[in-house]
Amino acid sequence: MTLAQKANFAVLATYPPLENRNRGVPSLCIPPLTLSDGPNGLANGLTGVTQLPAAIGIAASFDRSLARSVGEVLGSEAMAKGIDVVQGPELNLARVPESGRIFEAYGEDPFLTSVMGVASVEGIQSTGAMADAKHFTAYTQETARLRLNQVVSSRALAELYDAPFRAAVQQAHVASLMCSYGSLNGVNTCSDPYLYKTLKSWGFTGFVRSDLEAVRNVAHAFRAGIALVKPASASAIVRMVATGAIPLRDLNRAVRTVLTTMFAGGLIGRPHQGSLAAIVTTPAHANVALRAAESSIVLLKNVHSILPLATNDTSIALIGTDAGQLPQVTGGGSSYVHAPFVITPLWALRNSLGQRVRVTYQPGGLATLDIDALASVDGLQGRPLKLLAPTRSTSSPGKADISVELSPNVTSAIATATKPGVGDGWTRWGFKVRARATGDFEISMEQAGDMWMYFNGRALASSSGLHAPSDLTTMVSMVRGQTYRFGARWFQERGHPAPRFGIYYVTPQIKRAVAAARKSKVAIVFAGTFNSEGVDSPNLQLGGDANVLIAAVAAANPRTIVVLNTGGAVLMPWLSKVAAVVEGWYPGEQDGRAIAAVLTGAVDPSGRLPITFPSSVTSQPVAYPRQFPGMSSTVDFGSIRDLGYRWYQSHGVRPLFPFGFGLDYTTFTLSKPSLTSGAKGATVEVLVRNTGKRTGADVVQAYVKYPSVTGEPPEQLRAFARVLLAPGASKVVTLRIPASGFQIFRNNVFVTVPGTYSIDVGASSANLTIHLLLRRK
C-alpha cells in the first residue's frame, strides 16, 4: 500500500446512509470497512430494520440468552445490509442518573453489564459481523463531553468502569473498541497510553477507533495506538508522516491491526455483499423484539393486585400521548432507529380486550418535550394568553430580538430569538403575558448552551451548566386577568441556533382526561421522557405536564395505573396516589403488544431494575456539582462506593426503588441453600418455589459482602439466575461465583484479601434473605 492509501484506510467518514466507512484499496482486493450504530438496531436513517428495545430494557430482563438473541438480530441485519461492524454494545455504567444516554447501556452494575455485554457481542459476532464495544472508558454524561476531564481512581477503573470492557475482550473476544470522549485523568482518552496498555494486558487483538470528534490531536492518537480516526484528513496524515509527527511505524501498525481483524473475520476473502436498501427485518426478528419488550417490563407497584386487569374491568380510560398519538418507543441521538411500524398500546389493548371492554382515549397534553408542537397546536378553543411587551436583548455579544408567534385561535405561544448570535456570550430576553384563562401552563425551552428560565423574577428552571445543550420543561399556574413576566438568561454557543421558548395551556386537555377517568373503572396513564445523546436530564422529572396529569387523574379515579416509558430513573411525586406503576423503558416497535400482554396477564412482568430509582435529586450518588455536571470542566467520580446501589447502601440512604427490584403476579420463596467453595470460586444452590397461582419468572440474585478491611461497598452482585416456574413448581438453581468475584484491585493487581466473606441471596439488592459465610485465603 502507498502512504496515501494507508492514510485513507485509517480515516473514517460518513457516506450517507452509511454512518462510517474507510477507503479500501480495490487494486489490492481490500474492501472498505463499513460500520453503523447501534445498540438498539441499525441506525443512521437506515430503513427496513427491526427497532429493538433499548439496552436498559434488555438488562432489566436479567436474561443472558435474550441478550444474545438480540445481538444475533443486530448481526444478521447488519450482514444483510452489507455492514461489517455493529457499533455496539454500549458498556458504560449508569453513574449519572441524569445521563442522556443511560438507555443505550445495561445499567449501573459492572457484573450485570459484563454478562449482558458479553452475550450481545457473542450474538453479533456469531453471524459473521463484528462488534464494536463502546465507549472505552468511563463515559457517563453528555454535559461538556468533548472537553470534560474525568478524574477516576485506578481502583474504580479496574473494579467498575473497565470491567465490562475487560469481559468483552477476554470472554467474548470483541473485534473492536470505540474510545471515549473527553479526557481521563487529564489525558485525551483516545490518546491515552493507559487505554492501550490496559487492552494489551487483557490480550486484546482487535482495533481501536475513535468516536466522532473524540480525538483532539490526531498525531498523538496514532502514536498511542489508535487505528481508525473520525474525522481526519488523509492528506494531513500524509504530511504528518512526512514530518515525523506520526512515525510511519505507527501508521503501519494501525493499518495492519485493522487488516488483521478483517482477515480474521473473513472480510478480505469474502466481503459482505448485502444492500443498504434491503429490507432485512423478518417475522422472526419481530418475535425476538416482542419477547425482549415483554421481558424488560418491571412492575414497581401493585396495590390490591389491581394488575392484571380483571374481567370486571369493563371500562378503561387510556390517557397520555404515549398510549396512542406519539408512543415513546426509542431514544434519540446516534442510536435512534427508524421503526418499520409501531404497535401502540391503544391499538393493542383494544385488540386484546375486544368488545367486552370499552376503551376510551384522551391524550392529556403534548408529547414529551415536543417543542415543535408548541408552535402548531390548533385543535383547542379559547385565547388564554395575550402578549403585552417583548423585550430586546440587554447584553452582547449574541444579541437577539424576540419573534413571538401568537394566534388568537390557539392555546400556545412560541417565542424565538431570531438571531443565533455572532459569538460566545450571555444574552437576556423576556416578555409579559396576561392570562385570559385560569389553569396550568407547560413551559418549555430549548437551547444549545447554559440557560436559566425565570417566572415573575424567580428562577423557574435551569440547565446543568458547562455550556451543554439544554431541554427544559416545567409547569406554572396562572390566574385569569393577571400579568406575568417570563425571561431567560442564556449562553450563546458560537454557530448554534438561538433558543426557543414555548407556552402551552394544558388545563383543557387535563380536564378531558379527568372526565374520562371518572367515567371508567380503571384509568391507565402513559407517561415518559425523551432521553438522547447530546443532552442530560436537568431534574429527573417526567416531561411536560405528566406529573400534573397523573395527580389529577389519580384524584379522580383511585384505580389509576401508570405506565412509564423512560430511558432511566424518574421521580414519582404522585406514587402514593396511584394503584400501580409499570416501567416499560423504550420498548421498540412491539410497544403495544408487550404492554398489553403484561397488563392483561397474558405475560408475567418478570423484569428487574438494572438501575436504582432515587427518591429525590439530592438523595443520589451525584448530588454535588463536582460529581455532576462538573466544575471547571472537571468531574470527580469519587470512590468505588459512589456508584448506584453501592452508594445507597454505603450511606444508609433508602431509594424509591432499589437495584434488582421487581414485582410479579405470583410469589416465590427461596429455601434449602447450600454452599461449596474451593480455589476456583464458590457455588451456591437454592431451591426456588412458585407459591402463587400464576406462572411467572423469578430472578435469584447473589451478592458478595467483603471483609470490612477491604474498603469495598456492602454488597456487590456476583451471580444471578432467571427461572420460569408454573404454580406450585420448584427448581434448584445454581449460582456460580468465580474466584475473581472475591478479588479487589490493590497495587495495580487483582488480589484476594484473606478473611470471611458472605454470599447473600435474595430478590433484590435490598431484599437478601439468605446469608452464607465462607473464608477465602
pLDDT of residue 424: 54
Residue 355's Cβ-count burial label (10 Å; 0-12, 13-18, 19+) is exposed
For residues 98 and 140, the answer to whether their CB atoms sit within 8 Å is no
If asked whether residues 130 and 236 sit together in one domain, one would say yes
Residue range 425-453, pLDDT digits in tens? 566 667 777 887 888 888 877 777 777 78
If asked whether residues 311 and 181 sit together in one domain, one would say no
Q: Burial code of 688-712, b = ≥16 C-beta within 10 A, e = fewer?
A: bbbebeebbbbbbbbbbbbbeebeb
For residues 612 and 645, the answer to whether their CB atoms sit within 8 Å is yes
If asked whether residues 256 and 287 sit together in one domain, one would say no
Residue range 505-519, pLDDT digits in tens? 888 899 999 999 999
- For residue 23, give the 3-state DSSP assignment: coil
Dihedral of CA atoms 131, 136, 140, 142 in degrees, nearest 10, equals -80
Flag whether 660 is in a domain: no
Question: In Å, how far from its chain's centre is CA 259?
Answer: 33
pLDDT of residue 380: 26
Rounded Cα–Cα distance for residues 356 and 378 (Å): 35
Domain limit, last residue, from 233, 264, 295: 264
**Closest to 122 (Cα-Cα) out of 170, 50, 62:** 170
If asked whether residues 636 and 692 sit together in one domain, one would say no
CA angle, residues 713, 581, 373, in degrees to nearest 5:
105
pTM for this prediction? 0.92
Q: What is the CATH number of the domain that holds 483?
A: 2.60.120.380
Residue 626's Cβ-count burial label (10 Å; 0-12, 13-18, 19+) is middle
- For residue 746, give the 3-state DSSP assignment: strand
Q: Which residues pair with 446 in a beta bridge?
A: 471, 500
Q: Which residues pair with 63 in a beta bridge?
A: none
Flag whether 587 is in a domain: yes
Q: How many CB atoms lie within 10 A of CB 539?
A: 15
Query: For cell 459481523, what's the residue?
Result: 129
Residue range 697-745, pLDDT digits in tens? 999 999 999 999 999 999 999 999 999 999 999 999 999 999 999 999 9
Residue range 277-315, pLDDT digits in tens? 999 999 999 999 999 999 999 999 999 999 999 999 999
For residues 169 and 132, the answer to whether their CB atoms sit within 8 Å is no
Check pLDDT > 60 for residue 378: no
If asked whether residues 679 and 740 sit together in one domain, one would say yes
HEC per residue, 247-288: CHHHHHHHHHHHHHHHHHCCCCCCCCCCCCCCCCCCHHHHHH
Check pLDDT > 50 for residue 650: yes
492 confidence band (pLDDT: 50, 70, 90): low
Q: What is the number of helices (H) and of strands (E) in the chain?
A: 17, 36
Check pLDDT > 80 for residue 489: no
Q: How many CB atoms lie within 10 A of CB 296?
A: 31
Rounded Cα–Cα distance for residues 405 and 675 (Å): 70
For residues 462 and 415, the answer to whether their CB atoms sit within 8 Å is no
Phi-psi bin for 158: left (phi > 0), alpha (psi -120 to 50), beta?
alpha
Q: What is the CATH number of the domain that holds 58?
A: 3.20.20.300
pLDDT of residue 246: 98
Q: What is the CATH number of the domain that holds 635?
A: 3.40.50.1700
Mean pLDDT of all residues in 261-271: 93
Instruction: Write out the three cell numbers for 290.
Output: 416482542
If asked whether residues 440 and 536 sit together in one domain, one would say no
**Closest to 698 (Cα-Cα) out of 719, 672, 721, 673:** 721
If asked whether residues 209 and 337 sit together in one domain, one would say no
If asked whether residues 389 and 320 sit together in one domain, one would say no
* Amino acid, res. 671: S
Q: What are the residue ranges of helices labelled H in 417-468?
A: none
**Closest to 195 (Cα-Cα) out of 173, 212, 215, 171:** 215
Q: Which domain holds residue 645?
A: 283-355+528-543+553-651
- Side-chain half-sphere of 111: how many Cα atoms within 13 Å? 21
pLDDT of residue 391: 41
pLDDT of residue 419: 43
Residue range 533-588, pLDDT digits in tens? 988 888 899 988 899 999 999 999 999 999 999 999 999 999 999 999 999 999 99
pLDDT of residue 474: 83
pLDDT of residue 465: 58
pLDDT of residue 410: 37
Residue range 134-165, pLDDT digits in tens? 999 999 999 889 889 999 999 999 999 999 99
- Percentage helix, strand, coil, to 5, in the chain? 25, 30, 45
If asked whether residues 563 and 709 sit together in one domain, one would say no
Flag whether 30 is in a domain: yes
If asked whether residues 208 and 260 sit together in one domain, one would say yes
pLDDT of residue 471: 73
Phi, psi of 173 (to 5 degrees): 55, 55
Total domains in the fold of the chain:
4
